[in-house]
Structure 1
Amino acid sequence: MFVCFQPIKAAPPGKKYVRCPCNCLLICRDRAVKIACPRQNCGRIVNLSGGFPSVTVRSPGSIRASCVHCQQIFIFDVSTRALARCPHCRNLSAVGTNYAKNRGHVCLILGLLFIGAGVGVTVGTLELAEQNGGIYVVWTGKI
């Protein structure tokens, strides 16, 4: 028995249908040159520039990232870097949760260091503050 995997109706104006080798029917602009399969377990990139679509498989560490500046989607390898340069607008965007997590850890450590320094200055000058009331001005830094 032969099963036909053709679309039921024609593509909307300005769009076209492309079939991925994983049997996913993709819709894209009629001027599109490359299109990535959105399926999680597929991840193939279909090249539409020739007569018929050719397929390349993207690397396992790459994801589809969206630029925060121009909202265009591009493919980026998150296993190598956390900051991605958008190929459309050339701006940098943070991709993935590792960048935010690492930056949060750095801010937490710096905050704890500053709190420790403040407590150290306060405890270190406590006897001086009991004898001289002017040391409170030094604590606030308004000399």
Structure 2
Amino acid sequence: MEAKPQKQFPDYGSLGYARLSTTVTTFQLPLTSSCVTCKVCQSYIDIIGKRHQYVVKCNECHEATPIRNAPRGKRYIRCGCKCLLVCRDAALRVSCPRPNCKRTISLISSIAYDKVPVFVCAYCSNPFRFDVPQDSLNVSNLVKCPRHYCKRVSAVGGRDLARKWAMVFLMLSAALFTVGIALVCSTTQAAESSNGGIYVAYIGLFLIALICLLRTYHYWTMKVSRIEGTV
């Protein structure tokens, strides 16, 4: 029987690229636990007095084993050389720090390959994952780039949703400007005897209308992040 050809993974790393990585899942240990099993050599590790730590080191193989869930926004990754790494949850790849390894590990598993698309940010040109069903790739969505130095919102799947929000803010801005002008025309005499209090309402109303107009420009000129592939 002829073997089924495997789907090729896009190379997001360097020459030392490792195509698959192992995500380490952990759990909160019971309060009565005094030892855990090493995830590498299966030896028992005494954790008395170490429960406040996130990981413990095995005395047999000298590899780290997590005993608590990773900090918020982080996850554990086990390199092929058995080194335990802690990386950002949104990261696409990570490099092993060991001098005798130095491989670049893809954080894309084969299970998620057909489910999670990768987009290239239209502003910082860095790839990011956006969890959207495969059959919804052509549906317009608004996403924020996870890179800490970018964090800008772009459209994926087209500008339709961004243009809809632009029209909503445009109509809201026009309505507020109309109300503001009508209010100014109808309360001119009252404003003269209000000791300036009503002018604050004028300024606030027109300021909100201006903010809505700026949001209209923001959504109308929003860039579209292109799809790099599904991973």
TM-score range, shorter chain: 0.3 to 0.5
Q: TM-score, normalised by structure 1?
A: 0.40
- RCO greater where, 1 or 2, for CA within 8 Å and sep 6 or more? 2
Q: Who wins on radius of gyration, i.e. which is larger?
A: 1
Q: TM-score, normalised by structure 2?
A: 0.28
